[in-house]
């Protein structure tokens, strides 16, 4: 049997603030740019492996600040989305992309079925199981969580600038997104914040929302932050403060209904 992860690689999934008492579980699928030892560099340059194609810069840092502010459990993936994108099901082309934006990914071309299976079994399934187990346990205790996935996006994509700064994304269940967008547009507007931008369900980005939120009847939302806004700790803290307000108000409004 082909094995992917080594002892040096460690666990594929990390859980922070596991005893958190807040209503929200934060999920960060693209938290890391690390590549499993046996995959080498996937044929990419160091610059490519530091870029947004390998991870979501700043997303984990903002999620960690939010975890502390909201006393929320945080579950995140410890390997690059180029090894396996945990916001994609195994059958999706983007789960192990051979091309990401303008970059060819040689290490993902012409993979044998057993290599693909190893990546699913050792990266995706442990991540999926960790979140599913958490949701199941919370529901059994009568404390069903609110699922919030954290992402960042590049300011320039295929050479085109993006003016949107924060995206509030949803699939079939828009309850939490609706509330957050309502509060975001009241009074002074802090950011250019939009619904289902720069991505939406048609782009195949709502797998986690469907899997852990929609299928369990749980309120859910995906937050996309333009990564130039969260390049340093100051920006990350400012964004976490802003999102804490939107999430807290949005969840409270849902609970009051």
| The two three-digit tokens of residue 70, written as one number | 């909201």
**Digits of tens for pLDDT over the chain (257 positions)?**
579 999 999 999 999 999 999 999 999 999 999 999 999 999 999 999 999 999 999 999 999 999 999 999 999 999 999 999 999 999 998 999 999 888 899 999 999 999 999 999 999 999 999 999 999 999 999 999 999 999 999 999 988 999 999 999 999 999 999 999 999 988 788 899 999 999 999 999 999 999 999 999 999 999 999 999 999 999 999 999 999 999 999 999 998 87
> For residue 147, what is the enclosing H or E element?
strand 146-153
Q: How far apart are CA 210 and CA 216, in angstroms?
A: 8
Calculate the CA dihedral of residues 89, 93, 99, 101 and round it to 10 degrees.
Answer: -70
Q: How far apart are CA 169 and CA 88, in angstroms?
A: 16
């Amino acid at each position: 049997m082909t094995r992917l992860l080594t002892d040096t690689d460690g666990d594929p999934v990390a859980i922070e603030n596991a005893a958190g008492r807040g209503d929200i579980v934060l999920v960060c699928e693209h938290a890391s740019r690390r590549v499993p030892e046996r995959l080498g560099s996937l044929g990419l340059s160091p610059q490519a492996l530091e870029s947004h194609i390998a991870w979501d810069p700043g997303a984990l840092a903002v999620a960690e600040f939010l975890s502390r502010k909201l006393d929320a459990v945080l579950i995140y993936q410890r390997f690059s989305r180029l090894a396996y994108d945990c916001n994609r099901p195994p059958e999706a082309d983007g789960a192990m992309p051979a091309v990401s934006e303008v970059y060819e990914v040689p290490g993902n071309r012409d993979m044998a079925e057993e290599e693909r299976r190893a990546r699913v079994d050792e990266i995706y399934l442990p991540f999926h199981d960790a979140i599913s187990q958490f949701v199941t346990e919370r529901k059994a205790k009568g404390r069903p969580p609110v699922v919030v996935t954290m992402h960042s996006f590049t300011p320039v994509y295929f050479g085109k600038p993006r003016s949107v700064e924060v995206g509030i994304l949803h699939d079939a269940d828009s309850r939490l997104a609706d509330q957050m967008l309502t509060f975001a547009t009241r009074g002074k507007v802090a950011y250019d914040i939009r619904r289902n931008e720069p991505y939406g369900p048609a782009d195949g980005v709502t797998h986690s929302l469907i899997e852990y939120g929609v299928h369990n009847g749980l309120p859910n939302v995906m937050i996309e932050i333009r990564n130039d806004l969260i390049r340093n700790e100051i920006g990350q803290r400012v964004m976490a403060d802003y999102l804490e307000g939107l999430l807290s108000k949005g969840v409270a409004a849902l609970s009051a209904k």
